[in-house]
C-alpha cells in the first residue's frame, strides 16, 4: 500500500515519527512524506527508506492542505495526519486519542503503530561530516554539550556551574544538517538539552551517559522519556 504522512514541519516532530514510518516500510508499504524544503536534505539522506517530498513552507496551507493534495496526486491509498492539534484545522485530530495521549503517543496511535517503535530510530549517519564538525567545535577531551535555544527564547540555566572545569560546547546554527551533531552528543560527558530535536535524537537513539532535560511545555506536549534523564525547568 502507498501511505502518506502529514507532518510537514518541526525537526523534533519528524524525528519522533520517523520510526513509525520505518515500521510501515518494513511491513511492505511505500511511505511518502511531504516536508518543508529546508529540512529535505537532512532527512532524505538520514532516512532514505522514506519518500520525502520537498514543499514550500509559506502559509498555514503548507502544514496540511498542500501535503494532502501532494499525497493525493501521488496516489496514496491511506493518508495519516500526525498532528494532534492544528489551529486552522481542528477537524483533522482524532479526539478519542487526543484526550488520552501525549502528542508523541498520539502519532503512533493514529498511525496504528506500537509506541515502543519510537525507540527504534534508524538513521543513516554521515560519519565524515560528523567528524568534521566535531573537530571544529571540540578542543578538549572532557567536554559537555548543551542545546538551550528554542523558538520561545533561551533556557536560563547556569551551565558553567554544572560544567565545572569541562569545556562547554553549545549546539548552535553551525551546519545545515542537524545529524552532524551526533558525534559531539555521543562523546560528551554530559548533555544539557531543552525539549527539542536534539533531545529527541538523544532519547530515541538511546545514547547513554548523563543527561539533563529542560522542559518547556505542559505535559501533553512533552515527549515520553524512558532514558536516564535528570530534569530542569525552563
87 burial type by CB count under 10 A (0-12 exposed, 13-18 middle, 19+ buried): exposed
Q: What is the pLDDT of residues 170-193, one digit of tens each?
A: 999 999 999 999 999 999 999 999
- Average pLDDT of the segment spanning 209-222: 90
**Cα 117 to Cα 104, 109, 193, 215, distances in angstroms:** 11, 11, 23, 23
Which residue matches cell numbers 511491513? Answer: 27
* Whole-number pLDDT of residue 178: 95
Compute how many other C-beta atoms are within 10 angstroms of the C-beta atom of residue 127: 10
**Predicted model pTM:** 0.94
Compute how many other C-beta atoms are within 10 angstroms of the C-beta atom of residue 42: 21
Mean pLDDT of the chain: 94
Q: What is the pLDDT of residues 127-164, one digit of tens each?
A: 999 999 999 999 999 999 999 987 666 888 899 999 99
Q: What angle do CA 116, 52, 10 make, to 5 degrees?
A: 65
H-run or E-run covering 6: strand 2-6
* Whole-number pLDDT of residue 219: 83
d(CA 51, CA 43): 10
Amino acid at each position: 500500500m502507498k501511505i502518506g504522512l502529514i507532518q510537514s514541519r518541526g525537526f523534533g516532530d519528524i524525528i519522533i515519527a520517523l520510526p513509525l514510518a520505518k515500521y510501515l516500510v518494513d511491513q511492505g508499504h511505500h511511505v511518502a512524506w511531504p516536508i518543508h524544503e529546508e529540512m529535505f536534505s537532512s532527512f532524505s539522506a538520514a532516512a532514505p527508506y522514506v519518500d520525502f517530498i520537498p514543499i514550500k513552507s509559506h502559509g498555514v496551507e503548507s502544514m496540511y492542505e498542500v501535503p494532502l493534495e501532494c499525497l493525493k496526486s501521488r496516489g496514496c491509498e491511506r493518508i495519516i495526519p500526525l498532528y494532534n492539534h492544528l489551529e486552522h484545522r481542528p477537524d483533522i485530530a482524532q479526539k478519542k486519542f487526543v484526550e488520552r495521549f501525549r502528542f508523541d503517543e498520539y502519532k503512533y496511535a493514529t498511525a496504528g503503530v506500537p509506541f515502543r517503535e519510537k525507540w527504534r530510530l534508524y538513521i543513516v549517519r554521515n560519519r565524515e561530516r560528523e567528524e568534521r564538525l566535531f573537530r571544529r567545535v571540540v578542543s578538549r577531551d572532557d567536554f559537555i554539550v548543551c542545546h538551550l535555544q528554542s523558538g520561545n527564547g533561551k533556557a536560563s540555566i547556569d551551565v558553567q556551574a554544572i560544567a565545572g572545569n569541562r569545556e562547554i560546547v553549545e549546539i548552535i546554527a553551525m551546519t545545515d544538517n542537524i545529524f552532524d551533531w551526533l558525534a559531539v552528543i555521543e562523546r560528551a560527558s554530559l548533555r544539557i538539552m531543552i525539549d527539542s530535536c536534539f533531545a529527541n535524537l538523544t532519547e530515541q537513539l538511546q545514547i547513554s551517559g548523563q543527561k539533563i532535560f529542560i522542559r518547556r511545555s505542559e505535559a501533553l506536549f512533552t515527549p515520553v522519556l524512558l532514558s536516564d534523564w535528570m530534569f530542569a525547568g525552563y
